[in-house]
Structure 1
Amino acid sequence: MKFNVGIIGCGSITRFRHAPEYKANPHVEEIIFYDRNIERAERLAKEFGGRVAKKLEDLLDDPTIVAISDCSSNEAHHINTSKALLSGKHVLCEKPLAISVKHAEEIALAERQSGKKLMVDHNQRFTKAHQKAREILDKKELGEVLTFKTTFGHKGPEGWGATKSNATWFFKKERSHYGVAGDLGIHKIDLIHYLLNDVIEDVHAFTAALDKVDEQGNSIEVCDNVVCALRTKKGRLGTASFSWTYYGSEDNATTIYCQKGIIKIYQQLDAPLIVEKIDGKIIKYEIEQMQTNDNQTNTGVIDAFIKCIVADETPPVTSREAIASLQVVEKILRSE
Structure 2
Amino acid sequence: MSQKLGTAVVGTGYIGYKHARIYSEVLNSHLVAVVDRDRNRAQKIANELGCRAEYDYRRVLDDPEIDVVSICLPENNHVKPAIEFAVNGKHVLLEKPMAMTTKDCDEIIEGIKGTKVKFMVGHLLHFDPKYSRAKECINRGQIGDIIHIVAQRNGLISAGRNTGVAGNISVLHHVGVHDYELALWFSKGKVKRVYSEYCNRLLPGIATQDSFWGLIKFDDGSFASIGSSWVLEDSSGADVSARMEILGTHGLIELDCGIGGSLRIFTKEGWDFPDVYHWPVVNGNIAGALREQLVHFLRCVIEDKKPHVTIEGARLAVRVVELLLESAERGVPVYSK
8 Å CA contact 1:121, 1:301 repeated in 2 = yes
Q: 1:43 to 1:108 in 2, by over 3 A?
A: same
SS in 1 for 2:37: coil
Correspondence 1:133 to 2:120: no
Correspondence for 1:328:
320
Superposed counterparts of 1:30-41, under 5 Å: 30-41=31-42
The question of 1:290 aligning with 2:277 is answered yes
Contact 1:192 1:198 in 2 (8 A): no
1:179-215 Cα deviation digits (max 9, x unpaired): 11000111111111222344433210013432125xx
Pairwise CA RMSD:
2.4
Q: Tell me, which stretches of 5 or more residues in structure 2 are unaligned?
A: 264-274, 329-337
Corresponding residue for 1:261? 251
Q: Deviations 1:81-122 (Å, cap 9, x if unpaired)?
A: 111111111100011111111111111112213121110010
Q: May I ask how many residue pairs the two structures share in their alignment?
A: 304
The residue aligned with 2:200 is 209
In structure 2, what is the equivalent of residue 117 of structure 1?
A: 118
Report the Cα offset of residue 220 of structure 1. Answer: 7.4
Aligned: 1:183 with 2:174: yes
Q: Which runs of 4+ in 1 moved over 6 A?
A: 292-296
Counting only pairs closer than 5 Å after superposition, residues 18-33 of structure 1 correspond to structure 2 as: 18-33=19-34
Give the conservation status (yes or no) of the 8 Å contact 1:19–1:31: no
What stretches of structure 1 of length at least 5 have no aligned partner?
160-165, 214-218, 272-287
2:228 matched residue in structure 1: 242
Q: Residues 235 and 290 of structure 1: is their aligned pair in 2 closer, same or farther, counting only changes over 3 Å?
A: farther
> Structure 1's 59 and 197: CA in aligned 2 closer, same or farther, altered over 3 A?
farther
TM-score using structure 2 length = 0.83
Separation in 2, partners of 1:313, 1:320: 17
Q: Within 5 A, what are the aligned runs for 1:159-238? A: 166=161, 168-172=162-166, 175-177=167-169, 179-212=170-203, 221-238=207-224
Hey, what's the Cα distance between the residues in 2 that align with 1:221 and 1:99? 12
Cα distance change on mapping 1:234 and 1:47 into 2, 3 Å: farther
Alpha-carbon distance in structure 2 between the residues aligned to 1:298 and 1:289 = 7
Say yes or no: does 1:95 pair with 2:96. Answer: yes
Give the structure-1-normalised TM-score: 0.84
Q: One-letter code of the match for 2:294?
A: I
- Write out per-residue CA displacement over residues 126-172 of structure 1, whole angstroms, 9 at most, x where no aligned residue: 1111111111111111221111101111223439xxxxxx4x24324
Provide the C-alpha distance between the structure 1 equivalents of 2:44 and 2:168, rounded to a whole number of angstroms.
Answer: 25
- Residues 233 and 310 of structure 1: is their aligned pair in 2 closer, same or farther, counting only changes over 3 Å? farther
1:277 maps to: none
Contact 1:184–1:242 (CA<8 Å) still a contact in 2? Answer: yes
Equivalent position amino acid for 1:2 in 2: K
Contact 2:172 2:228 (C-alpha < 8 Å) held by counterparts: yes
1:316 positional shift = 0.9
- Residue 303 of structure 1 corresponds to 295
Alpha-carbon spacing, 1:199–1:153, altered in 2? closer, same or farther (3 Å): farther
